[in-house]
A and B are shown apart, each in its own frame.
Chain A
Amino acid sequence: MNTVIKSRYSAEYSKVESALPGRSAPWLVALRAGALDKFSGNGFPSIREEEWRYTNVSGIEKNLFVPTDQPSSATVDKEWLDRFKLPDCWSFVLVDGYFSAELSQLDGLPEGLVVQSLAKTLDTDAEQVKPYFAHAVSDDEHSFVAFNTAWFCDGLFLKVSKKLALTKPVQLLHVTTQQERLSTTRTVIVVEPMAEAQVIETYIGVEQAYLSAAVTEVFVEANANLTLYKVQCESAKAYHFGGTYVKQARDARFIHHNFAFGGLLARSDIHCDLDNASECDLNGLYLGNQRQHLDNHTRINHLQPNAVSREMYKGVLAGRSRGVFQGRVVVAENAQKTDSQMNNRNLLLSDDAEADTKPQLEIYADDVKCSHGVTVGQLDEKSVFYLQSRCVDEETARNMLTFAFANEMVNKLTIKSLHDLVLTQVLERFPQQGISIDWL
């Protein structure tokens, strides 16, 4: 290697390398080596890069987070875990980046549904993963992806076979249990033609500083249906990077709900590549408090004609928090009849809170319907007065309006236990005086 090494993490790689899964699959070994090279040459993204201009990740370099060498589920506080485990789902738990069979529910899966440790899959039957791995995202995307490819220690491989409609959602619960941990997971989700699934990714961690860096590659094949949820409740001291990269085949439908609640610095990337007549619907809610920095980055590539994309991201920012929304929609030259709407609305609850919003439309086709709208504002004083005139005190009125603003996104959730979990999280994060849970 003749490039200057830009990251302290590269020097640590030799310590973990031999323990990483997939050593017996040459294609993966080669991929990892290439990814390490790319990462070492670039380091983590810098604010000089357009896609990272609002988000400074240098804290990750200062901290030097390390992977655990002895994964153990024994250290997990079960009571705490159970608050996030959804009872009406098939749950799979990853502890500090490693799949935990002990904490997961492995029984009762229907025939045609595969959910298993990615590490195990790579070590026993790597060919199963090969057609998908690094096919929804390349290591050139940015350094976090290259970092993930080089470092990931485990993750999940989830496959729903053709025509199978799952009767229960699958929950993937990522838990970080110790400070200074580096949890690097890679997840591959494949929904085969005409199949239907709901998958919930949940991220939690102890109240410590750690780095959770996850990449999820998603394949929604022809005429399949996937609703993917991300509930990010990392610790308020943690760093979170999560990328979700989705390839949709023709007539495939993908719905995403992204709840960004935790983390000192958290970034989500959601990318969708849309084939002919496919549909994607991206929903997001980020709630910032204190000094949190929450970045949401979406890209929708309309590659073929007749696809529909919808996007609604909402942010509520209090304290000195900062919310970022960068939404890009690219319509390729032959993607005629594209129908795309993008919306981002931000509510600032304090003078020190900040929202940076940047919608971008790049349209190369001529027969398309594309729109976007963004707002950054405070609570509407007319509404506050209206509620006061209906006997509600000012503080409660403000809480009601704030909650109502956020609740629009929560109300879209149809899985009862998930709805309740997210609602509880929202209420925990905002002053709730006067707000009753039996919101009608």
Chain B
Amino acid sequence: MLNIENLHVSVGDKPILKGINLQIKPGEIHAIMGPNGSGKSTLSHVLSGKSGYTVTEGTVTYDGKDLTEMAPEVRAREGVFLAFQYPVEIPGVSNIYLLKAALNAIRKHQGLSEVDAMDFLMLVKDKVRLLEMDEKFLYRAVNEGFSGGEKKRNEILQMAILEPRLCIMDETDSGLDIDALKIVSEGVNSLRSPERSFVMVTHYQRLLDYIKPDFVHVLAHGQIVKSGGADLALELEEKGYSWVENKQAAA
């Protein structure tokens, strides 16, 4: 589904990603861990098409198509979804309006007609219940005045409604309290399917206890320095990043 080969990315003159290789097949869950500033969010942003980054080398293909050639909204309509590490507040645009605009844009892209108002409301309310949110959040401006945890949960609400095929979650767990983490994780688990893949950026094992990854990658200094199964995360928790970083330096 997603194929990243030797991806090099710079911001201005500053190289940040320095040769990332990553293959993600349908249905897989990949966790990406790594120290602060290693390039995890940069990778997420590049995949979703944020401007300001230059791909200096390498390729990113999604369903066989060159992802880097697509406008951000086209990627989103094609099923790439980024749950932001820092969701943006949009005063004056209500959550439900944005959800409707987004869903209709996807449907149009797929050659379908606009969503029926009743069906839409039912779908949205269903997902609001899934994530145990208050319906009032639907009518509030997108993320405006939301607490840190509420913003994260709102990202997953959008994800649940838009049903993307590639879900990139950038530190969705940071900021969630213990109960919220459980609810959100269950929400994510309910979205799992053989066609849908997940990339979860996280610093904590806790999330991976709820959502068990198929692969764990360690990103350091712009490169994936180690990959393994779910056990790798446990090992990291115990030994810290210096363990893999040192191994890398020694190699």
A and B from one assembly? yes
B48: interface (CB < 8 Å): yes
Closest to B83 in A: A389
The answer to whether B92 touches A385 (Cβ under 8 A) is: no
A421: interface (CB < 8 Å): no
The answer to whether B101 touches A392 (Cβ under 8 A) is: yes
Partner of A388, one of B49, B92, B139: B49
A401: interface (CB < 8 Å): yes
Contact with A along B76-89 (1 / 0, CB 8 A): 11000110100110
Stretch at the interface among A37-45, A152-160, A213-221, A402-410: A402-410
A58: interface (CB < 8 Å): no
A349: interface (CB < 8 Å): no
**Chain B nearest Cβ from A384, distance in angstroms:** 9
B contact residues around A404 at 8 Å (CB): 90-93, 141
B contact residues around A386 at 8 Å (CB): 84, 87-88, 90
Contact with B along A37-81 (1 / 0, CB 8 A): 000000000000000000000000000000000000000000000
The answer to whether B72 touches A388 (Cβ under 8 A) is: yes
C-alpha spacing A439/B90, complex, angstroms: 14
B106: interface (CB < 8 Å): yes
Where chain A touches its partner, the secondary structure class is helix
Closest to A400 in B: B93
If A383-B88, A440-B139 touch, whether A391 touches B93 (CB-CB below 8 Å) is: no
B contact residues around A392 at 8 Å (CB): 73, 98, 101-102, 105
If A391-B76, A393-B73 touch, whether A407 touches B98 (CB-CB below 8 Å) is: no
Contact with B along A121-154 (1 / 0, CB 8 A): 0000000000000000000000000000000000
Closest to A406 in B: B92
* Most chain B beta-carbon contacts within 10 A, residue among A385, A389, A403: A389
Number of interface residues of A (CB under 8 A): 26
If A439-B97, A440-B96, A440-B139 touch, whether A389 touches B90 (CB-CB below 8 Å) is: no
B contact residues around A408 at 8 Å (CB): 91-92
A contact residues around B33 at 8 Å (CB): none
Q: Which residues of A373-401 are within 8 A (CB) of B?
A: 380-383, 385-394, 396-397, 400-401
**Chain B nearest Cβ from A266, distance in angstroms:** 25
B123: interface (CB < 8 Å): no
A contact residues around B10 at 8 Å (CB): none
The answer to whether A389 touches B92 (Cβ under 8 A) is: no
A434: interface (CB < 8 Å): yes
Closest to A388 in B: B72
The answer to whether A390 touches B102 (Cβ under 8 A) is: yes
A contact residues around B91 at 8 Å (CB): 404-405, 408
C-alpha spacing A393/B51, complex, angstroms: 14
* Most chain A beta-carbon contacts within 10 A, residue among B48, B93, B109, B158: B93
Closest to B95 in A: A440
The answer to whether B71 touches A385 (Cβ under 8 A) is: no
Closest to A390 in B: B102
Partner of A401, one of B71, B90, B158, B162: B90
Besides A388-B76, A391-B109, A397-B73, 8 other A-B contacts (C-beta < 8 A): A387-B90, A389-B48, A390-B158, A391-B73, A391-B105, A391-B162, A392-B98, A440-B94
29 of the cross-chain contacts (CB-CB < 8 Å) are A380-B88, A385-B50, A385-B51, A386-B90, A387-B93, A388-B71, A388-B72, A389-B48, A389-B76, A389-B81, A391-B73, A391-B77, A391-B102, A391-B103, A391-B105, A391-B106, A391-B109, A393-B71, A396-B101, A400-B93, A400-B101, A401-B90, A403-B92, A404-B90, A404-B91, A404-B93, A408-B92, A434-B101, A439-B97
